[in-house]
Structure 1
Amino acid sequence: MNSLNALQTPAAVVDVQRMQSNIDRMQNQVNRLGARLRPHVKTSKSWPVAQAQIVAGAQGVTVSTLKEAEQFFEAGVIDILYAIAMAPTKLDRAFALCQRGCCLKLVTDSVAGARAIAEYGRAKGHTFEVWIEIDTDGHRSGVAPESDLLLEIARELNRVGARLGGVMTHAGSSYDFDTCEALLQIARQERDLAVRAAHRLRQAGYACAQVSIGSTPTALSYDHLHGVTEVRAGVYVFFDLVMHNVGVCSTGDIALSVLASVIGHQPEKGWLIVDAGWMAMSRDRGTQKQKQDFGYGQVCDLQGNVLPSVLMTGANQEHGIISVSIDEGEAIEQRYPIGTRLRILPNHACATAAQYPAYTAIMADGSVEQWERFYGW
């Protein structure tokens, strides 16, 4: 890890061995259950990371912005699911991608959205593949599997300019659980309701080839995937402290950390001041309502080993406040002198990664590489 001493701080550091272990774990899980894995690349937004997932066996990617779709297509990915309900104003960009050879899938959960896509496609002489988003847990978006609206949307997609490709869902509420039993229950619910929606569509005479489900907690909890064609998950590639609290990883699995330097002390408060504030870590306090609150992040030494009871408890824009429990007789300035380098594990890997234009990837031999991230919408 001596190569980290030469870096400017703060820096986003990826432990490639941990990352690869996470990739292999998820790929093996989905392979074992007989489905395809379509990773959500919004977490890393980086081609070297996605490339490692594809080499391991992933088929296609999921994106959350059209900019991601454009950039991953330019990198060589053809099969892309844009997993956000399609805004009509973005159809020009989606069409341009399709014209260039991208196998782009769009998503909608409304009659108006489906109609806009079909009308645009008809005007351009193009047929968009569209998946209907299913609400399986009341978390955010989607159509109830038993609703009349499901069939109404399918009817709009059964026109010139669009075709129904399948259904997709995301059990975002899985982040609220932290036992194997609860995660298995929400995983079964996500799977069964998506499969039910596809069955209703087929019974009504609509083709529904794809059933796409997934979140990192549920993907690691399914007991079977009968009726499912693919699984989507994203944050597993790095993991984070929220996932640690959910119970699907240990701190030793977390592959992303922020490298920071000690720039000051407040001995009477038990504080270190580091040069990584909320601009470096993000404001995400996702562990605040979980069983263990990690503040703004769990602090580790330069080698990535967790320092017990050392947390980033406060953050200003460029200053981070780290609270330390010092053994009797040892001054905080002596244990962590000015210039000491620490690594901080994030609450939410996606949010922390988004603060940086590139990652510093630590390879197995200790060397480092710079991996660019994609930006924008």
Structure 2
Amino acid sequence: MRPMLSTLDTPAALVDRERLARNIARMQSRLDSLGVKFRPHVKTTKCIEIARAQLEAGARGITVSTLKEAQQFHAAGFDDILYAVGLVPGKLQQVLALRQAGCNLKVITDNAAAAAEIGRAAREEGITLEVWIEIDTDGHRSGVKPESAQLIEVGRALVESGAVLGGVMTHAGSSYDLDTPEALAAMAEQERAGCVRAAERLREQGWACPNVSVGSTPTALSAKSLPGVTEVRAGVYVFFDLVMANVGVCAPQDIALSVLTTVIGHQPEKGWAIVDAGWMAMSRDRGTQKQRHDYGYGQVCGEDGNVLPGYVLTGANQEHGILSREGAKDEDIEKRFPVGTRLRILPNHACATGAQFPQYEAVGKDGAVVTWPRFYGW
């Protein structure tokens, strides 16, 4: 007999299967309509079952953020993998081992010295390694500017070392700071134009640069057109979270990941209910703090997943969460949430909250639960 939602211990990481399927279909349909390949980032879920659902919906290839992810997904039958974190020489042996095992693994770099070392080490092992150059299109993180001399230096280092210059990729992480359709569309175009321009400059040198990869959840859902782009990457869309709700690309009702928790006590004079999901369950991520709506450590929902407006986790200790009403103390907190009440908490940052748990409890519309393992580590 399959377990039911009502029988789960708390805290537990819940995945609403209906919302998950809707989120996957939404992104795939959008990128299909834009005529680009979709390579989802699986760092959000680190879950074989969810990644398979993404591929079944039409995705081609996956993006990972750790070599542990690459190893685990390749062992499960995933082949076309982009490791989207700058490769350092100390990790080359892990990469080369995956390539020797038959994994079609692509890596990235943004500096000439690393590019030369990557190509040299692969050549000495008799392996041809495909390397993409990371492009900085918004000043958010790493990468080389599209118009910089450094771009050509990195490309030359790759080609001369014997590596395959497979393409360029970028991530407009600053889109997370925006919250209007106009600003998001403008950032999506900035991301596209910068990455396409970098590819053009490399091709002007006589080097093939077949792949032009862009993406973040906000820009993927806001781009008007993507000429010159071959693929898009996005990750958190599969669950969504409260940061994405504040950005404006989803509603709280779209968020597929939540933490099941139980009320364990009260501080009635403060208007608090105490739950058994503290920061060890929710994570310490306070990503909504600087956005238009601060959800504390998470939005409170009923056990059925329906949002309870105005109630959030305003505080969190290691294993205790503090539930209270925004704006005014709830004088009836004990009656509203008696000890034993089971609730769901929507997370600020799905990646961080998911990382607190070894598995997801995937809940169907009928309340039946299937356990999906997740993995972590580097």
| TM-score interval for Structure 1 and Structure 2 normalised by the shorter chain | over 0.9
2:65 corresponding residue in structure 1: 64
1:185 corresponding residue in structure 2: 186
| Contact preservation (8 Å) 2:140, 2:173 | yes
Task: Indicate yes or no: 2:21 matched with 1:14.
Answer: no
Distance 1:230 1:173 in 2: 19
Task: Indicate yes or no: 2:207 matched with 1:206.
Answer: yes
Amino acid at match of 1:70: Q
| Contact preservation (8 Å) 2:213, 2:230 | yes
**Pairs within 5 Å for 1:160-179:** 160-179=161-180
Distance 2:370 2:41 in 1: 23
2:105 corresponding residue in structure 1: 104
List 4+ stretches of structure 1 deviating above 6 A: 325-330
Task: Indicate yes or no: 2:119 matched with 1:118.
Answer: yes
| Contact preservation (8 Å) 2:116, 2:161 | no
Distance 1:253 1:279 in 2: 24
SS in structure 1 opposite 2:50? helix
Q: What 5-or-longer segments of structure 1 have no aligned partner?
A: none
1:138 corresponding residue in structure 2: 139
Shift of 1:328: 10
Task: Indicate yes or no: 2:129 matched with 1:128.
Answer: yes
2:354 corresponding residue in structure 1: 353
Amino acid at match of 1:374: F
How many residue pairs get aligned? The number is: 376
Task: Indicate yes or no: 2:29 matched with 1:23.
Answer: no
| Contact preservation (8 Å) 1:270, 1:326 | no
Compute the TM-score of the two structures, normalised by the length of structure 1: 0.98
2:239 corresponding residue in structure 1: 238
2:83 corresponding residue in structure 1: 82
Q: Against the structure 1 CA distance between its residues 208 and 329, is the aligned structure 2 distance closer, same or farther, given a 3 Å change threshold?
A: closer
SS in structure 1 opposite 2:345? strand
Amino acid at match of 2:313: M
Distance 1:114 1:293 in 2: 42
Shift of 1:87: 1.3
| Contact preservation (8 Å) 1:120, 1:161 | no
Shift of 1:291: 0.4
2:279 corresponding residue in structure 1: 278
After superposition, the C-alpha distances for 1:99-138 in whole angstroms (9 at most, x for unaligned) are 1110000000001110110110111111110000000000
Task: Indicate yes or no: 2:218 matched with 1:217.
Answer: yes
Distance 2:190 2:341 in 1: 48
After superposition, the C-alpha distances for 1:217-276 in whole angstroms (9 at most, x for unaligned) are 000011111100000000000000000000000011000000000001001111000001
Distance 1:329 1:57 in 2: 47
Shift of 1:6: 1.0
Amino acid at match of 2:105: L
| Contact preservation (8 Å) 2:270, 2:329 | no
**Pairs within 5 Å for 1:45-60:** 45-60=46-61
1:254 corresponding residue in structure 2: 255
SS in structure 1 opposite 2:274? strand
Distance 2:373 2:4 in 1: 19
Distance 2:136 2:233 in 1: 15
Amino acid at match of 2:200: H
SS in structure 2 opposite 1:13? strand
Q: Which moved more, 1:274-283 or 1:331-340?
A: 331-340
| Contact preservation (8 Å) 2:241, 2:255 | yes
**Pairs within 5 Å for 1:145-156:** 145-156=146-157
1:298 corresponding residue in structure 2: 299
Distance 1:38 1:111 in 2: 26
| Contact preservation (8 Å) 1:242, 1:348 | yes
Amino acid at match of 2:349: H
Shift of 1:367: 1.1
SS in structure 2 opposite 1:299? strand
2:374 corresponding residue in structure 1: 373
Amino acid at match of 1:130: V
After superposition, the C-alpha distances for 1:292-349 in whole angstroms (9 at most, x for unaligned) are 0000000000000110110000000000001137999973222211111010000000
Amino acid at match of 2:37: R
Q: How many percent identity over aligned positions? A: 65
Distance 1:329 1:32 in 2: 48
Q: Against the structure 1 CA distance between its residues 3 and 197, is the aligned structure 2 distance closer, same or farther, given a 3 Å change threshold?
A: same
Q: Against the structure 1 CA distance between its residues 328 and 65, is the aligned structure 2 distance closer, same or farther, given a 3 Å change threshold?
A: closer
Amino acid at match of 1:146: E
Amino acid at match of 1:112: A
Shift of 1:160: 4.6
Distance 1:120 1:3 in 2: 52
| Contact preservation (8 Å) 2:5, 2:367 | no
